[in-house]
């Protein structure tokens, strides 16, 4: 677990619409949502399906595997927390389930990240409530 | 459909400042309002509609108070730096509908003297999508870099091609006496500048300045006895683009939706456009906007911007004022697109004048390109 006093990056708000996702992250499980009415997948999680406005939602366990859709090696960010960890990799990962999520690529040199690279989820436990899904090169 | 040539731009003013530690943001708004009303030959008492953005949730009321306005039409549409382009469309619609007659649009910012890190400050808005983004450290700049990286991957676009845009726009800035950076640069200079967020270099990024500007939109009838040649608002449209439930193609921009609508409304095709003012927050923004507006096919933007095509004297001059890349960028640049296009259509641009400029297109992109952004397109015609 990260040292809470030293962790300065923004933390997500865990609310009625998102808590299923963050609670699963705590258990080191990654979920996406699927609409039971129209079948559309969605990320990020929210209460109503934007495709049909149904609130009949199924949580689908993701394999946690995907590929890098795009990325940027960030060399400048003045915000607290991030400026101490430059350079870092911001990326969209396309999950095998078919949705893209913004995340970080960790566990390799920033210069080794490539579009199309297979990756797998790895969980960063920030505090007792918050665990962030990040990705590392697939084994 | 359309404004039926009922609305015109009657006044424009670009504040010459690029560094104003001795002024407040509201003062820059007011000085810009004064400038555009003088340009139009109108007084503050003639104003019956007011538009602004970037001043906080009910800042439009504070600005109205600061200028002691009594408007019968108010609009504080806030869709990022493109807001002021959208304001012109909204003003034209309100004027065509008879809701108001003299619309004042103002902008002011002291981003530079307040040392505000516009593109790399992080920031965390706190709306639902932000909670799935902010923890991972996206910067505004990074959201454009994500798009640039994908564009290079899909289409083979190169850093040299992006650099060509910065070089061309700097050349235009060298002809603008109030542009902040006027010394020519080369493709090699851009490539040698440091990487801020890969694949974008420092010289791929807009500058940060103080500044402001203002525009007056009025009815064609009212403009008849005003001093400046009117510029018609021929067409306008807006759109937004976001992550689309996690399925968006990052090479799609809002411009793909708003551009064709605005051009159809104006009854114009690409070959009718004599010059473009395109929001150049970053070089990739210009390249993708040209593709998404349909000036070239997707993936061909890299070749399109080479060989002088978007320079003065080329087939489609872009950002003749020196743009946000070299002239000024106080955080929200949309109003300057409208101001320069209007000056070009009036033939007031001197050394940087586009010859026989009759139709101009403005396209503003606001927000974070690879996360969520707005697009506002405007087609203007010489009166």
* Any A CB within 8 A of B242 CB: no
* Any B CB within 8 A of A127 CB: no
* Any B CB within 8 A of A20 CB: no
The answer on pLDDT for A114 being more than 80 is yes
Classify residue B169 as exposed, middle or buried by CB count within 10 Å of its CB (0-12, 13-18, 19+). buried
Q: Helix (H, G, I), strand (E, B), or coil: what is residue B134?
A: helix
Residues from chain A contacting residue B371 (CB–CB below 8 Å) = 102
Q: Are B234 and B265 in contact (CB under 8 A)?
A: yes
pLDDT at B347: 98
* Any B CB within 8 A of A65 CB: no
pLDDT at B120: 83
Alpha helices (H) along B177-333: 187-192, 220-223, 255-266, 283-293, 301-304
- Residue A6's pLDDT band, with cuts at 50, 70 and 90, is confident
Mark B186-210 as b/e (b = at least 16 C-beta within 10 Å).
Answer: ebebbbebebbbbbbbbbbbbbbbb
pLDDT tens-digit profile, chain B (383 residues): 688 899 999 999 999 999 999 999 999 999 999 999 999 999 999 999 999 999 988 999 999 999 999 999 999 999 999 999 999 999 999 999 999 999 999 999 999 998 888 888 766 778 999 999 999 999 999 999 999 999 999 999 999 999 999 999 999 999 999 999 999 999 999 999 999 999 999 999 999 999 999 999 999 999 999 989 999 999 999 999 999 999 999 999 999 999 999 999 999 999 999 999 999 999 999 999 999 999 999 999 999 999 999 999 999 999 999 999 999 999 999 999 999 999 999 999 999 999 999 999 999 999 999 999 999 999 999 98
Residues from chain B contacting residue A24 (CB–CB below 8 Å) = none
**Beta strand pairing call for B49-52 and B73-75:** parallel
The ipTM, to two decimals, is: 0.97
CA distance B240 to chain A (A): 15
- With CB atoms and an 8 Å threshold, state whether A82 touches B245: no
pLDDT at A74: 98
Q: Helix (H, G, I), strand (E, B), or coil: what is residue A13?
A: coil
> What's the mean pLDDT in A8-16?
95
Pick the residue of A53, A62, A76, A130 with the most B CBs within 10 A to test the interface with B by mutation: A76
For chain A positions 104-123, those within 8 Å of chain B (CB to CB) are 104, 115-116
Mark A33-70 as b/e (b = at least 16 C-beta within 10 Å).
Answer: bbbeeeebbbbbbbeebeeeeeeebeeeebebbbbbbb
B219 membership: H or E segment, kind and range? strand B211-219
pLDDT at B116: 82
pLDDT at B246: 94
Closest chain B residue to the Cα of A18, Cα to Cα? B128
Residues from chain B contacting residue A40 (CB–CB below 8 Å) = 245
Distance from C-alpha of A14 to C-alpha of A1, rounded to nearest angstrom? 18
Q: What is each CA distance from B253 to A110, A127, B148, in whole angstroms?
A: 27, 37, 12
Closest chain B residue to the Cα of A88, Cα to Cα? B137
Distance from C-alpha of A59 to C-alpha of A33, rounded to nearest angstrom? 5
pLDDT at B2: 82
* Any A CB within 8 A of B132 CB: yes
CA distance A67 to chain B (A): 13
Distance from C-alpha of B370 to C-alpha of B140, rounded to nearest angstrom? 9
CA distance A52 to chain B (A): 12
Q: Helix (H, G, I), strand (E, B), or coil: what is residue A31?
A: strand
Distance from C-alpha of B128 to C-alpha of A47, rounded to nearest angstrom? 11
* Any A CB within 8 A of B198 CB: yes
Structure confidence by residue, pLDDT tens digits, A42-101: 999 999 999 999 999 999 999 999 999 999 999 999 998 999 999 999 999 999 999 999
* Any A CB within 8 A of B126 CB: yes
Q: Are B222 and B11 in contact (CB under 8 A)?
A: no
For chain B positions 295-354, those within 8 Å of chain A (CB to CB) are none
Residues from chain B contacting residue A41 (CB–CB below 8 Å) = 245-246
Q: Which domains does chain B have, with CATH numbers?
A: 7-113+210-230 (3.40.47.10), 138-207+236-382 (3.40.47.10)
- With CB atoms and an 8 Å threshold, state whether A40 touches B150: no
pLDDT at B117: 81
How many Å is the Cα radius of gyration of chain B? 19
The rounded percent of chain A whose pLDDT value lies above 90 is 94
DSSP A100: E
- Residue A2's pLDDT band, with cuts at 50, 70 and 90, is low
- The partner residue sitting opposite A70, judged by closest CB among B137, B146, B246, is B146
Q: Are A125 and A5 in contact (CB under 8 A)?
A: no
């Amino acid at each position: 677990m990260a040292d809470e006093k030293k962790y300065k990056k923004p933390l997500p708000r865990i609310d009625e619409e998102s808590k299923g996702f963050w609670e699963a992250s705590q258990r080191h499980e990654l979920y996406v949502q699927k609409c039971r009415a129209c079948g559309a997948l969605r990320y990020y999680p929210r209460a109503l399906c934007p495709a049909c406005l149904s609130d009949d939602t199924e949580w689908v366990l993701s394999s946690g595997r995907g590929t890098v859709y795009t990325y940027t090696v960030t060399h400048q960010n003045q915000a607290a927390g991030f400026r101490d960890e430059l350079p870092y990799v911001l990326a969209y990962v396309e999950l095998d389930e078919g949705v893209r999520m913004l995340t970080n690529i960790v566990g390799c040199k920033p210069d080794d990240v490539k579009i199309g690279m297979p990756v797998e989820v790895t969980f960063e436990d920030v505090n007792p409530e918050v665990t962030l899904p990040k990705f590392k090169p697939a084994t | 459909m359309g404004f039926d040539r009922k609305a015109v731009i009657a006044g424009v003013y670009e504040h010459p400042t690029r560094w104003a530690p001795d002024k407040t943001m509201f003062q820059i708004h007011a000085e810009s309002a004064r400038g555009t009303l003088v340009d139009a030959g109108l007084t503050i008492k003639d104003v019956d509609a007011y538009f602004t953005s970037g001043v906080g949730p009910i800042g439009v009321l504070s600005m109205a108070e600061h200028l002691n306005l009594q408007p019968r039409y108010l609009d504080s549409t806030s869709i990022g730096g493109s807001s002021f382009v959208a304001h012109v469309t909204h003003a034209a619609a309100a004027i065509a509908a008879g809701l108001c007659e003299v619309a004042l649009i103002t902008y002011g910012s002291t981003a530079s003297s307040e040392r505000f890190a516009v593109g790399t400050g992080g920031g965390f808005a706190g709306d639902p999508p932000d909670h799935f983004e902010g923890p991972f450290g996206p910067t505004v700049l990074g959201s454009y870099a994500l798009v640039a990286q994908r564009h290079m991957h899909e289409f083979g676009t190169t850093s040299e091609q992006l650099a060509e845009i910065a070089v061309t726009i700097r050349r235009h800035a060298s002809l603008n006496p109030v542009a902040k950076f006027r010394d020519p640069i080369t493709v090699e200079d851009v490539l040698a500048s440091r990487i801020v967020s890969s694949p974008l270099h420092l010289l791929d990024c807009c500058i940060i300045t103080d500044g402001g500007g203002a525009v007056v939109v009025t009815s064609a009838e009212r403009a008849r006895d005003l001093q400046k040649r009117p510029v018609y608002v021929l067409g306008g449209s807006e759109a937004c683009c976001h992550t689309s439930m996690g399925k968006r193609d990052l090479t799609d921009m809002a411009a793909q939706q708003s551009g064709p609508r605005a051009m159809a409304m104006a009854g114009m095709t690409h070959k009718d456009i004599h010059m473009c003012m395109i929001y150049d927050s970053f070089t990739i923004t210009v390249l993708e906007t040209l593709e998404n507006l349909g000036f070239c096919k997707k993936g061909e933007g890299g070749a399109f911007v080479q060989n002088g095509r978007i320079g003065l004297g080329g087939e489609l001059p872009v950002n003749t004022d020196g743009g946000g890349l070299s002239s000024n960028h106080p955080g929200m640049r949309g109003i300057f697109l409208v101001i320069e296009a209007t000056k070009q259509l009036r033939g007031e641009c001197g050394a940087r004048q586009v010859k026989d400029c009759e139709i101009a297109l403005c396209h503003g992109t606001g927000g974070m390109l690879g996360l969520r952004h707005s697009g506002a397109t405007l087609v203007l015609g010489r009166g």
